[in-house]
Chains A and B, each alone.
Chain A
Amino acid sequence: MEKRVVFQNRYLPYLLIAPQIAITIIFFFWPASQAVVQSVLREDAFGTRSYFVGLENFIALFEDEYYLNSFKITALFSTLVTTIGLSLSLLLAVTADRLVRGTTAYKTLLIWPYAVAPAVAGALWGFVFLPGPGIFAWLLLQAGVDWNFHLNGDQAMFVVVVAATWKQISYNFLFFLAGLQSIPKSLIEAAAIDGAGPIRRFWTVVFPLLSPTLFFLVVVNVVYAFFETFGVIHSLTRGGPAKSTEILVYKVWYDGFEAQDLGGSAAQSVILMVIVIALTVVQFRYIERKVHY
């Protein structure tokens, strides 16, 4: 069947996609190309002049142990945010799906965190975990934990992971719930009659049918952890203590705007861009094959 739309006016289709193209050019291609250009330049101390340095910025980066460490931190951070976030929201969605009454209230409450700006989420969790007045901090102290996430790098990582995950759970939850509700009830009933208990039903029938949703969310969550968690980290730890929570995107900002190393920062952006493109390609190439649509 021919599904293509045939336009009467040959310019109309171009006009219709023009806004999207314009947005992509202005907000992606242009800054991206600027970053590429800048990554091979070095500015003088006063920002009056810049000159071509070839790959020096990149070479300098890979000799910088803080930069290499930032890779590890980012890998750990995004893995934790993605796995914890997805597992928790799947659990919540499964329970919400089983609810008969009070679903709306439950759903509404779970969706709220999504409406909170990252920086605000960071501030909230920062207060909750703040040594002294913070309630969780107090509880942890009572439990005998020497708690101060401003001084302890592992604790700082824990707090940023909690805040970043908390914010993303709503989004994941919504998609998981929609995915669960699109599974015909009769499939579950058929599995029940076939003798599968609830847990077995989940892993052999429900989970495979959720895999498109899961795949989509993995992509979205990794990208989220890489880029959109800037606000959370900036408001909570500013990449500290001792750069222990400095993920790549935070370092880009810090080196560019605080340390005024525009060339180095641009080089990092370029690397980050390559990483994300590679990640996406890998995800679509290899993971998608195992997904049942």
Chain B
Amino acid sequence: MAKVTLKGVKKNYGPVKAIHGVDMEIADGEFIVIVGPSGCGKSTLLRMVAGLEAITEGQIVIGDRVVNDIEPADRDIAMVFQNYALYPHMSVYQNMSYGLRIRGMDKADIEKRVQRAAEILQLQPYLQRKPRELSGGQRQRVAMGRAIVREPSVFLFDEPLSNLDAKLRVQMRLEIKRLHQQLGVTSIYVTHDQVEAMTLADRLVVMNQGRADQIGTPGDVYNHPATTYVGGFIGSPAMNFVKCRIDAGKAVLDDGVTLALPGGWTAPAGSYTLGIRPETLRIARPEETPDLHLDVDVAEELGADTLLHGKIGGQDVVARVPSNAGFHDKSRPGLMVDISRAHLFDNESGLRVAV
């Protein structure tokens, strides 16, 4: 168990800057998820913590040691790889005990640890099998078992579920969560899947082109996205962005739609991007005057909800409404905007503007 601290961590590949400087403190036992699209530097960041990539600048501290120049083996970490990286020529037992054998641990102790990990992961029947004789989910569990037996102070997960099918992924996600509750080991988990990120994380780090755009709890990141990027990345379907002018307590959209702002908003007059989550748009009740009308191009029926795709002010907008509202393609419902749950972003920097 250990704290992990990143201080101005940067990574350059020659002239290419991959990580622009990440600062964060990870508390003992915390589950941190680093989320972002491919190429955002999330894996690189994790691999720097693991010691598989050199750190160009800054410091990584695990426990109370600066680990910049410490070999991966001596960082007291264990890593689960995307492709599991099981040794194909070794049995499950040998795979799990490999690290312990190298450390010269007593045979009986190895046996004890492997058996306990196998019990936690329900792998006992498979200990003598080779990885190729296992299913994807079982291999995944072996990979986690190999990490658990080492009893490290930090677990690192590099997209561990992305090779599994959708159903198994949900199941394994739950298992990882349980495992973390059970073991309480500090964990850093990299994924591009925002659902994984939201469900697993104590806090998540949203990476965007080598920068940590926002670090916060899932609720925080969802409800108060720091940038348009975070707003658009977290949440499905993505947040709607509409250009607007703020003037005299009103937001005027491009096609003339005017929305009254809540009393407390003090943003100075000017051009902004208004961020509206699809679920904060709702169908106007008969007695209400709709804030706006949406020309629906396509209605996607999801079962409980229907996604209405249309345009507002020339920009694509999605509204999530209950399916029983009965709207279809080419309908034109009147919508109410819950403006108190909307966000204003600066057009240039994409940063959220305090309102």
Q: Is A192 within 8 A of B87, CB to CB?
A: no
Chain A stretch 178-196: residues in CB contact (< 8 A) with chain B: 184, 186-187, 189-196
Type the 1/0 row for B40-80, where 1 means its CB is closer than 8 Å to any CB of A.
Answer: 00000000001110000000000000000001111001110
Q: Is A195 within 8 A of B73, CB to CB?
A: yes
Min distance, Cβ A16 to any Cβ of chain B, angstroms: 33
Q: Is A187 within 8 A of B87, CB to CB?
A: yes
Q: Is B89 within 8 A of A194, CB to CB?
A: no
B280 interface contact, C-beta 8 A: no
Q: Is B99 within 8 A of A195, CB to CB?
A: yes
Q: Is A192 within 8 A of B102, CB to CB?
A: no
Type the 1/0 row for B227-265, where 1 means its CB is closer than 8 Å to any CB of A.
Answer: 000000000000000000000000000000000000000
Q: B73 contacts which of A186, A196, A208, A209 (Cβ < 8 Å)?
A: A196
Q: Is A209 within 8 A of B89, CB to CB?
A: yes
Most buried by B among A189, A194, A195, A209: A194
A187-B87, A209-B89, A292-B89 are known contacts. Are A194 and B73 too (CB-CB below 8 A)? yes
B103 interface contact, C-beta 8 A: yes
The answer for the CA separation of A205 and B103 in the assembled complex, in Å, is 16
The answer for the CA separation of A192 and B83 in the assembled complex, in Å, is 16
Min distance, Cβ B346 to any Cβ of chain A, angstroms: 41
A195-B99, A200-B102 are known contacts. Are A190 and B81 too (CB-CB below 8 A)? yes
- CB-CB nearest in chain B for A186: B85
The answer for the CA separation of A186 and B83 in the assembled complex, in Å, is 8
The answer for the CA separation of A193 and B83 in the assembled complex, in Å, is 15
Most buried by A among B50, B85, B88: B85
Q: Is B98 within 8 A of A191, CB to CB?
A: yes
Q: Is B73 within 8 A of A193, CB to CB?
A: yes
Q: Is B79 within 8 A of A184, CB to CB?
A: no
The answer for the CA separation of A209 and B89 in the assembled complex, in Å, is 7
Most buried by B among A187, A195, A196: A195
- Could you pull out 29 A-B pairs where Cβ atoms are within 8 angstroms? A184-B85, A186-B81, A186-B82, A186-B85, A189-B50, A189-B72, A190-B79, A190-B85, A190-B87, A190-B146, A191-B87, A191-B98, A192-B52, A192-B73, A193-B50, A193-B52, A193-B73, A193-B77, A194-B102, A195-B74, A195-B102, A195-B103, A196-B73, A196-B98, A200-B102, A208-B89, A209-B88, A209-B89, A292-B88
Residues of A in contact with B (beta carbons under 8 Å apart): 184, 186-187, 189-196, 200, 204-205, 208-209, 211, 292
